[in-house]
Amino acid sequence: MENLDVKRGISWLDERINAMRSFEGSLLSYVKYSKTLKSNVIRLDANENYFADIEFLKATFMEALKEVDLRLYDPSMTFKLRKALAKYLDVAPECVGVGSGSEHLIDFVIQSFLTRGDVALSIVPSFFMYAKRVRLRGAELVTVSLKEDLSLDVDKILKNCSNKTKLIFVCSPNNPTGNQFSWHDIETLAESCSALIVVDEAYAEFGDGSVCSKAVEKENIVVVRTFSKAFGLAGLRFGYFAANENLASALSKVIPYTVSTLVSCFVVKLLNKFEVVKGWINEVKKERKRLMKRLGSLDEIEVFDSKTNFVTFRLDGNADKIYKGLLDRGIVIKNLGALPVIGHCLRVTVGFPYMNNNFLDTLTQVMREEFSA
């Protein structure tokens, strides 16, 4: 009998494993990188929400823990959760589904609708994860640049679509450009092609509202959202989506049961106390305005408007050195590299005022040293 030694080398399996090995998820790369940091750094690189009151979150979590019976599968809790999210989004409960963070749901949509030979389209610059996950799936990714004013180039997107194009990713507000796209453009895309439009609204609470209530009227739009940003719960891993009933109920049937009864109960409680979360969102917006104004007053820097909890700014030619200078002084922001349309940019999360002041003062110092050198 053939010796089934693992070292035998099964070519198709090796090929898939190698594709997985080269993949760096956002969380994996973050874990690796955080090990290299000192403990007293100011971290403004991952768009987490420091304004979320941790004591309030813990107390609400404890209320949920006391209420649920973790010995049981409890479908009624999932129903309560979908109902609460539906009320929050102003859609019907049948239009809502849940998962473990929006990245999980984005990946689930990719797995469900893309096979080898299919094509997905992403705007650029945008969230890098779409491209990585599409390629991991063995499908092709086509990119279309935003216009100079950072709006969607609807004509160009449509020209780049074929009957092989199954998904179009539209991140709105967009990471990293910070702007939100018009419903008119999103609707035109949905009506003019047969692809499923995946609208990623991770940052929508910091912007000018959601497209959810209109999107559920369309057959080919799914809006993916998260509790990692406005609700300050990146570590909780909770995401949800809204789509027309036909699509949402089909997706909900096949998504594995990943949201625990405890998390479901906690999320329902938080939605019932949304006025508290609204306060955090308002604080982020207020601080964002101040941060943008002070950044914009610095020479050599061009600041992009933001409908999110981060601010992106251009520092062509010097971005790497400035980034490194900040890192050496314990301020961690995100080096976006040289991007299409917007050039070489850095991105900073809106932190507490003392964090932002520290960042701004250090940036001023690093730039002074850099430009006088």
Q: Which residues bind ligand PMP (CB under 6 A)?
A: 47, 101-103, 127, 171, 175, 200, 202, 226, 228, 234, 239
Q: Which is nearer to ligand PMP, 170 or 367 (CB)?
A: 170
d(CA 322, CA 306): 21
**DSSP codes of every residue in 135-183:** HHTT-EEEEEEPPTTS---HHHHHHT--TTEEEEEEESS-TTT-----H
Smallest gap from residue 275 Cβ to ligand PMP (A): 23
Smallest gap from residue 4 Cβ to ligand PMP (A): 38
Sheet holding 165-171, edge to edge: 96-99, 239-243, 221-226, 196-200, 165-171, 119-124, 140-145
Smallest gap from residue 330 Cβ to ligand PMP (A): 22
Q: Which is nearer to ligand PMP, 239 or 325 (CB)?
A: 239
Q: Which is nearer to ligand PMP, 312 or 362 (CB)?
A: 312
Smallest gap from residue 144 Cβ to ligand PMP (A): 17
Beta-carbon contacts of residue 244 (< 8 Å; ≥ 6 apart): 95, 216, 217, 218, 219, 221
Beta strands in the chain (DSSP E): 42-43, 96-99, 119-124, 140-145, 165-171, 196-200, 221-226, 239-243, 302-303, 310-314, 331-332, 334-339, 343-349
Q: Which is nearer to ligand PMP, 203 or 362 (CB)?
A: 203
**Cβ neighbour number for residue 301 with a 10 Å cutoff:** 17
CA angle 65, 67, 71 (to 5 degrees): 75
Beta-carbon contacts of residue 35 (< 8 Å; ≥ 6 apart): none
Q: Which is nearer to ligand PMP, 304 or 367 (CB)?
A: 304
Q: Which is nearer to ligand PMP, 240 or 325 (CB)?
A: 240
Q: Is 322 exposed, middle or buried (0-12, 13-18, 19+ CB in 10 A)?
A: buried
Smallest gap from residue 48 Cβ to ligand PMP (A): 9
Smallest gap from residue 304 Cβ to ligand PMP (A): 15
Q: Which is nearer to ligand PMP, 308 or 362 (CB)?
A: 308
Q: Which is nearer to ligand PMP, 202 or 326 (CB)?
A: 202
| Phi and psi, residue 73, nearest 5° | -75, 130
Q: What are the percentages of helix, strand and coil residues in the chain, rounded to 5?
A: 45, 15, 35
Smallest gap from residue 70 Cβ to ligand PMP (A): 23
Q: Which is nearer to ligand PMP, 211 or 367 (CB)?
A: 211
Q: Is 347 exposed, middle or buried (0-12, 13-18, 19+ CB in 10 A)?
A: buried
Smallest gap from residue 102 Cβ to ligand PMP (A): 3
Place of tokens 């006088």: 372
Q: Are 258 and 240 in contact (CB under 8 A)?
A: no
Smallest gap from residue 106 Cβ to ligand PMP (A): 7
